[in-house]
Amino acid sequence: MRQAATTLQIETRGRGFYSIGPAVESFAQGQSMRTGLLTLFCRHTSASLLIQENADPSVLSDLENFLGRVAPEDPSLYAHDTEGPDDMPAHIRAALTQTHLSIPIIGGALMLGVWQGVFLVEHRRRPHRREIALHVIGA
């Protein structure tokens, strides 16, 4: 068994979905493992990771609209507002999504479906530098 690890730095422009699939795939393929498991971990409490549809952009806008209804920016709803009115809604959105992902590697390729992409989801309105830890184990 071999292992490798790295981190990705993602500069966001504010709330939205950022495709990180190409960078993730490049790291995994660079390890030349035929069989293994790639783990991704988002090191933040107001951003998250998703595997989601990558062909039709309306899927991502519908998801953003849904998250806005579930966790609206309404200061009357939350006690926590240390970093502004989008702070607590961002924490709720991250709690409802995922901070880590696992993707199998079979035959040297990530086993993502045809329409699946890997995204960092920024839940804050202002730009941030986000860090994603990547770890692969396999042979």
List, as one string, the DSSP characters of the chain: -EEEEEEEEEE--SSEEEE-HHHHHHHHHHTT-SEEEEEEEE--SSEEEEEEE-S-HHHHHHHHHHHHHHS---GGG-S--TT-TTHHHHHHHHHHSBSEEEEEEETTEE---TTEEEEEEE-SSS--EEEEEEEEEE-
Q: What's the angle, vertex CA 37, arms to CA 35 and CA 41, rounded to 5?
A: 160
Q: Which fold has domain 2-138?
A: Jelly Rolls (2.60.120)
Return mean pLDDT, the chain: 97
**pLDDT per residue over 89-135, tens digit each?**
999 999 999 999 999 999 999 999 999 999 999 999 999 999 999 99
The fraction of the chain above a pLDDT of 70, given in percent, is 100
**pLDDT per residue over 71-90, tens digit each?**
999 999 999 999 999 999 99
Segments making up each domain of the chain, as ranges: 2-138
